[in-house]
Amino acid sequence: MNNNVYGIDLGTCNFKVFCKSNGKILKEKNTIAIINKNEIYAYGDDAYAMYEKAPEAIQVVFPVVCGVIADFNFLQQMIYDYLENKLKGKVKGAEFIVAVPTDITDVEKRAFFELFYKSKFKPKNVLLCEKPIADAVGLGLDVNQPTGIMVVNMGADITEISVISLGGLVLSDLLHFGGNRLDESIISHLRKEYNLIIGQKTAKAMKENLGSGLPGRTETMVVVGRDVVSGLPVEKEISADVVYEATRANMESICTSIKMILEKTPPELAKDIIHSGIYITGGGSQIDNLDKLFEEITNIKVNSCDKPEESAVRGLVKIVSDPKYKRLPFSMKNSILK
Ligand SMILES: Nc1ncnc2c1ncn2[C@@H]1O[C@H](COP(=O)(O)OP(=O)(O)OP(=O)(O)O)[C@@H](O)[C@H]1O
Ligand SMILES: [Mg+2]
């Protein structure tokens, strides 16, 4: 069996790589710092550390936006360098299995395929797999059964709500909406209510430390921002309830979308979902009490998991290793433009 296999999930915030030869899963920020307009200065966590701090000559960009590739060439260079030089992997002639969102166009899916196929990777094979299917397999669910499974993946830019049965997607909805939107809501709420301008990273930290699907958290956090009136930097203590108020409407709109998918779900599959519960995953699913909020809204049990950011890439590992899943991934070799 070939061991030179990489499973790859290119998220908006993080890219995750599974390396079959050593069994490791690695996660890095999907960020690139560019100098002189076309040279990569740094990438990954190093580039993210420069975000909001870099001088004008260095641009920090995110090569995946809303789940699709926004900057093909830089992304390709970064992944190649990461696998070849940072992981010291044997990239040439390797097999790649790449997770792709469901509700994107074929052209956008093909870009993920070509990222590896048409490149100096010179791959032996490139396969794609729908992210919700990879997520479900990564959560330890047998997607081949005629049983309805509902997976909600809340990432940074997108939230995918999917119903799976017999190894395929029965229903899915991709919301251009995830953790980043919550960060933006925190920024605008603090500006409006507290005359405080904070950076994106501070907002993200507030969401991760104080965010909640339900009111009642009592913790506080001291943040540094700029006072709108005086223009000077100030320190302010912000309570969890402020973060809850800022993000409540966003979380409610995810609930509305989950309910809409449930309303469209055929009754026999809905019966399975009620029985086994809804599965939530993706980094955003770690918001405190988000599971409880979804339970309140849907009256269905909600299952959360450990290391939810990695569930799709964990699924890719199983899909390439277990012959019973060989029907799940697909190639786009025949639709490639010559
Ligand atoms: N403890 C936490 N509480 C709340 N949110 C969190 C927590 N930890 C991480 N996140 C959020 O999870 C998101 C990243 O998750 P993930 O890696 O699943 O996204 P992604 O796959 O990069 O994005 P996408 O799926 O939208 O393309 C970020 O918005 C991050 O702020
Ligand atoms: Mg993701």
Ligand 1 atom nearest 67 alpha carbon: 27
Which pLDDT band holds residue 120 (cuts at 50, 70, 90)?
confident
Query: At 72, which amino acid appears?
Result: F
Give the residues surrounding ligand 1 with Cβ less than 6 Å away: 11-14, 67, 155-158, 178-180, 204, 207-208, 211, 282-284, 286-287, 309
Whole-number pLDDT of residue 88:
86
Q: pLDDT tens-digit profile of 211-244?
A: 999 999 999 999 999 999 999 999 999 999 999 9
The pLDDT of residue 336 is above 70 = no
Tokens representing residue 208 in the block: 């991760």
Cβ-based neighbour number of residue 207 at 10 Å: 22
Hey, whose CA ends up nearest to atom 7 of ligand 1?
208
Centroid of ligand 2 to alpha carbon of 196 (angstroms): 30
pLDDT at position 76 is 97
Q: Say whether 77 sits in a helix, a strand or coil.
A: helix
The pLDDT of residue 317: 87
Q: Ligand 2 center to residue 230 CA distance, Å? A: 40
Cα Rg for the chain, rounded, in angstroms? 21
What is the 282 CA–ligand 1 centroid distance (Å)? 6
pLDDT tens for 6-17 read 999 999 999 999
Q: Tell me how far the alpha carbon of residue 245 lies from the centroid of ligand 1, in angstroms.
A: 20
- Evaluate whether 5-134+312-335 and 179-246 have a shared fold: no
Q: Any idea where the domains of the chain sit in the sequence?
A: 5-134+312-335, 142-177+253-306, 179-246
Contacts of 293 (CB under 8 A, 6+ apart): 213, 214, 251, 255
User: Are 87 and 7 within 8 A, CB to CB?
Assistant: no
* pLDDT for residue 2 is more than 80: no
CATH topology classification for 5-134+312-335: Nucleotidyltransferase; domain 5 (3.30.420)
* pLDDT at site 337: 59
d(CA 301, CA 62): 35
pLDDT-based confidence at residue 133 (cuts at 50, 70, 90): very high
Using the mean position of ligand 2's atoms as its centre, give its distance from the Cα of residue 132 in Å: 10
Query: How confident is the model over 54-93, as pLDDT tens digits?
Result: 999 999 999 999 999 999 999 999 999 999 999 888 888 9
pLDDT at 81: 95
For 179-246, which CATH class? alpha beta
Ligand 1 atom nearest to 180, measured from its CA: 29
Yes or no: is domain 142-177+253-306 CATH 3.40.50.300? no
Residue 96 vs residues 116, 134, 257, 304: alpha-carbon distances, Å:
8, 14, 33, 28
3 state DSSP class of 11: coil
Whole-number Å distance between alpha carbons of 124 and 78: 20
pLDDT confidence of residue 313: 97
Separation of alpha carbons 146 and 26, rounded Å: 33
Per-residue pLDDT, 119: 79
Tokens of 37: 């307009």
Contact yes or no for 138/321 (Cβ under 8 A):
no
For 3, other C-beta atoms within 10 Å of its C-beta total: 12
